[in-house]
């Protein structure tokens, strides 16, 4: 990223703290921001279609949280909660999205970085779903041990 793009990111950022157990993002709610985790741990989970939330990934310092602000319909795809006290840099996604429309090179630079996070999260979700499916399959193939 060039200096003016980095300066713009700095202008759209502020420090924030989360308490242990605090919800940072909630699945299916409006997405308008993203975070760079500085310290602490955050659990990313999905629970819209399950009785219990399914852990997708645990993230920590240096990890990016939140990519849904960049893509229509701008709703969170996962829920994220602080597992321990967490500090992060908060970025105003809606403002950055407007700047991306004006400066496509900024949009491209952010898209390159966000797509890495998206692929990582989606692969983690896929692994969790497969392990969940495999656990269900082993239960279905051997019910006699419970009889």
* Segment 109-123, tens digit of pLDDT: 888 888 888 888 788
* Segment 81-112, tens digit of pLDDT: 999 999 999 999 999 999 989 999 998 988 88
Q: Which residues of 97-108 are buried (b: 16+ CB within 10 A; e: fewer)?
A: bebbeeeeebbe
* Segment 54-80, tens digit of pLDDT: 888 899 999 999 988 988 999 998 899
Name the one residue in this structure whose structure tokens are 């909660």: 81
Q: Looking at the predicted structure, is the pLDDT value of residue 141 above 50?
A: no
* Segment 5-58, tens digit of pLDDT: 888 888 889 999 999 999 999 999 999 999 999 999 999 998 766 677 888 889
pTM, 2 dp: 0.78
pLDDT for residue 108: 92
Domain 3-129 fold = Jelly Rolls (2.60.120)
* Rounded distance between C-alpha atoms, residue 41 and residue 60, angstroms: 5
Classify strands 42-46 and 54-59 as parallel, antiparallel or unpaired.
Answer: antiparallel
Domain assignments of the chain as residue spans, ordered by start: 3-129
């Amino acid at each position: 990223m060039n200096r003016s793009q980095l300066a713009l990111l700095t202008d759209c950022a502020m420090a924030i703290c989360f308490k242990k157990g605090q919800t940072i993002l909630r699945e299916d709610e409006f997405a308008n921001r993203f975070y760079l985790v500085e310290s602490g741990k955050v659990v990313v989970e999905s629970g819209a279609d399950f009785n219990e939330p399914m852990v997708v990934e645990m993230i920590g310092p240096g990890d990016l949280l939140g990519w849904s602000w960049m893509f229509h319909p701008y709703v969170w795809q996962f829920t994220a909660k602080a597992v321990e006290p967490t500090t992060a840099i908060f970025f105003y996604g809606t403002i950055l999205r407007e700047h991306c429309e004006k400066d496509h090179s900024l949009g491209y630079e952010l898209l390159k970085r966000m797509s890495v996070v998206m692929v990582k999260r989606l692969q983690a979700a896929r692994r969790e779903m497969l392990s969940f499916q495999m656990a269900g399959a082993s239960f279905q193939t051997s019910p006699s041990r419970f009889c």
